Structure 1
Amino acid sequence: MIKCIAIDDEPLALQQLELYVDKTPFIELVGTFESALEALVFLNDKAIDLMFVDIEMPNLNGMDFVKSLTNAPKIIFTTAYSQYAAEGFKVEALDYLLKPLDYATFLKSANKAKAYFERFKVDEENAGLNDRYLFLKSGFKMVRVAVDQINFIEGKGGYLKFHIEGSNPIMTLLSMKSVEEKLSPAKFMRVHRSYLVNLHKISLIERGQIVFGKVRINVSEQYKAKFQAYLDRNSMN
């Protein structure tokens, strides 16, 4: 399922997009916003795949908004103005739709997004995982990460958030299962449905929680015996 949001300062345009998304089985609308600034607050906490973005909006127009994002989702512009088309494709927009929209035009664009995610979804075949480093697709970039610098990996919905020593976290579209299968079990252990930790980076365990700075990770019942066995093998009692 492609998770998307829609941004448009015209309420009727948002209602139309919501109707079209509801008719399209492979897209889920998780938020609508009448300003880019509202959407920016949402994106600070949530990861999505796709944005339908109007361009001519007050305070912050859609084009400047997209350019301001470090790890932007894929973009489909929806606007009444054709003069931005070339600029839109410079920011690697998937499509540029002129209003008024009909459903056939919307569906064609939605299918283009579907084809993109089917082709470029990062999984175990193309993530470049190995014992020394991996390449993670984040927004428009492929970021090389040293495996030994990963503190832990956090599952967030359909995404993974890689917490890297000395760097900002990286959000990417991967399944926890695929990463767990590829990374060395001698270094990485699943301790919770949503957490895979680098055993070599653990320096403090307190009250049954693994502590990474301000983050405290609970070891769930499902993984407690395996983790305790690791501790027993490496403890001096």
Structure 2
Amino acid sequence: MMKCIAIDDEPLALSQLAGYISRIPFLTLLKPCQDVFEAMQVLSEEEVDLIFIDINMPDLNGVDFVRSLITNPLVIFTTAYSEYAVDGFKLDAVDYLLKPFEFQDLLKAADKARKKYEYLRQESPDEAKIKDGSLFVKSDYKVIRLDIDKVKYIEGMSEYIRIFIEGEEKPVMTLSSLQKMEERLPSYFMRIHRSYIVNLRKITEISRLRIIFDKNTYIPVGENYKEKFTEYISKLSLS
């Protein structure tokens, strides 16, 4: 099941789009959004696999919004203006639907997204393995051995993850997902945000529900993960 959001500033177009999505069995619509600010709120709280987004919107158009995202869900653009198509495909959009479109058009585009989603999440045998306290990951055509205890945190970036190691300036990037890593990591790692897993043993400072690893690294605790994280901190607190 793919989790998606729909973004369109026109209420009728958004309602039709949401209705079409509800008829597709492999999609779950988290929320229909009338502007990018609503969408940002959902993206900050949920892991979104696919975005349906209109291009010609006030404040921030769909293309610029997608460019601004830190993580990269799959994208299907919807618009009444064909001149935006080139910009859409430059962002590696799954598809581009020209309004008005029918349910079959959306279904075809959604199925393309499903196939790409499944392909990106196919697990390679040597993608990421843990053995004897070490994490083996495939990165840049090599299999690298990492000491799990030295991993500070892991950041999810669509189909890739970045693993930040204590004492190393650059993270190790590999094709995987936070969900897969969460299933394999020891219990002292915790998912604290849709985009982050942290090594609880490496936390030395917390400010306003942000984990501070150094002067330039602030990891936010997401709303959906706040209760579990604060419960862990409370158990170790003297106050």
Runs of 4+ in 1 over 6 A off after TM superposition: 159-163
Aligned-residue offset at 1:44: 2.4
Distance in 1 (alpha carbons) for counterparts of 2:62 and 2:18: 18
* Map of 1:59 onto structure 2: 59
Cα 1:134/1:213, change in 2 over 3 Å: farther
Aligned-residue offset at 1:163: 7.8
Cα 1:38/1:147, change in 2 over 3 Å: farther
Distance in 1 (alpha carbons) for counterparts of 2:191 and 2:38: 28
Aligned-residue offset at 1:69: 1.2
Cα 1:35/1:179, change in 2 over 3 Å: same
The one-letter code of the counterpart of 1:15 is: S
CA offsets, 1:143-199, max 9 Å, x none? Answer: x995554235699xxx9997846799x99353356534xxxxxxxx2258968875x
* Map of 2:16 onto structure 1: 16
The one-letter code of the counterpart of 2:177 is: T
Cα 1:37/1:8, change in 2 over 3 Å: same
CA offsets, 1:90-125, max 9 Å, x none? Answer: 111000011112111111011101101111116463
Cα 1:28/1:212, change in 2 over 3 Å: farther
* Map of 2:201 onto structure 1: 202
Cα 1:154/1:35, change in 2 over 3 Å: closer
* Map of 2:221 onto structure 1: none
* Map of 1:224 onto structure 2: none
SS in 2 for 1:202: helix
Structure 2 gaps, min length 5: 212-228, 233-239
Please give the root-mean-square deviation of Cα atoms over the aligned residues, in Å: 3.8
Aligned-residue offset at 1:13: 1.1
Distance in 1 (alpha carbons) for counterparts of 2:105 and 2:16: 13
Distance in 2 (alpha carbons) for counterparts of 1:45 and 1:31: 12
Distance in 2 (alpha carbons) for counterparts of 1:48 and 1:109: 17
* Map of 2:179 onto structure 1: 174
TM-score, with length taken from structure 2:
0.64
Q: Give matches, 1:1-237, under 5 Å.
A: 1-121=1-121, 123=123, 125=125, 127-129=127-129, 131=134, 134=137, 148=148, 149-151=150-152, 164=164, 172-176=177-181, 178-180=183-185, 189-190=186-187, 202=201, 212-214=204-206
Q: Count how many residue pairs are aligned between Structure 1 and Structure 2.
A: 191
1:123/1:174 contact within 8 Å kept: no
SS in 1 for 2:45: coil
Structure 1 gaps, min length 5: 137-143, 181-188, 204-210, 220-237
Aligned-residue offset at 1:128: 4.3
1:129/1:135 contact within 8 Å kept: no
* Map of 1:208 onto structure 2: none
2:190/2:198 contact within 8 Å kept: no
The one-letter code of the counterpart of 1:41 is: Q
Which sits farther off after the overlay, 76-85 or 34-43? 34-43
Asked which structure has the greater CA Rg, the reply is: 1
2:182/2:191 contact within 8 Å kept: no
1:55/1:61 contact within 8 Å kept: yes
Distance in 1 (alpha carbons) for counterparts of 2:114 and 2:178: 14
SS in 1 for 2:179: coil
2:155/2:178 contact within 8 Å kept: no
SS in 2 for 1:44: helix
2:22/2:28 contact within 8 Å kept: yes
Q: How much identity, in percent, do the aligned residues show?
A: 37
SS in 2 for 1:58: coil
TM-score, with length taken from structure 1:
0.65
The one-letter code of the counterpart of 1:175 is: K
